[in-house]
Structure 1
């Protein structure tokens, strides 16, 4: 079972195409986010989404959730609760939609990143569907890993555990423990090639360093 969560505006394509590209099966659920007390302009898009998915199968549920657009903290929490309550594989779709709730949905997705299985984006320029990897911003990195993280950043690109140890003046065992912590926080990606552990900084790791400047 999948649950797709997406903001929706006037264009059903920004919801329908990402869902169909990723896959839709009986029992899946599509949650459409709209500002509460919205006017009727978006009703046709919602109706089109329901019609298209109903033609694909009778067991596909389409639900509309109204978001409090005029109180930003409330909007963020409402979006976060919807994402956290999603059943099965959770897919967040950034296809556009009302600006009033798009930022709140974005913040909520970053906060619940560890609960999202897939993040999709419909691009206006190419009208293509891209799969994104959101950076992990909520993790707290142990201060003891700071020297290792900064060394990886200075090496600028893929490197190895032995090189990090040499450049940072730390033992390989210490760097190995730091890499375990950093990988758990999604600040680095590591890959064992033979006996050598290869390491690369993630976007989350770069943003963690940017915040520490």
Structure 2
């Protein structure tokens, strides 16, 4: 006779070393900490992380799929350059996709499913106040993609994820050091408030405004880090 399995706690899966390295490298890439056009070897980066070269190489291959780096034979990976037009193209596509989709989510998604993302919005604000660039970028990505996913279109979510990964948040470290990220971070809580209030028009307008602020952070010119 097969015994009945008792109720047992579920354990969340721990991220692999490859996933951890990918997350850290992505943050370094999108904020310009790794120089556009420069070539980095997996062994050299591995020394910085204090790990073997294998997870770093695997992480770089993942980032190559996101068009953030490109392999250079027998040398490593080159950080892809992104010019102002490419940045504008990314933002313009997001403006076509996200405001209308977020307005749709505000009008139709269950309120409790939208409200579930409030804790992540708080993470964004906490990271901004702490000047933690990696945590800010990670939480910001989860927040926006999570809410967009409530529209039920996985292709749309994948497209926005790709656009975000192709972009450069070069101003984030400078703003974090100056404690100037907080206004943009607080917009996430404001956005969630109008969404759970079922105000589709305000959701669309605020999403457009937020993307305009993001474009300012993405500027290639000015003070680099």
User: TM-score, normalized by length of structure 2?
Assistant: 0.25
Q: Give the structure-1-normalised TM-score.
A: 0.26
Q: Which has the higher contact order (CA 8 A, sep 6+)?
A: 2
Q: Which of the two has higher C-alpha Rg? A: 1
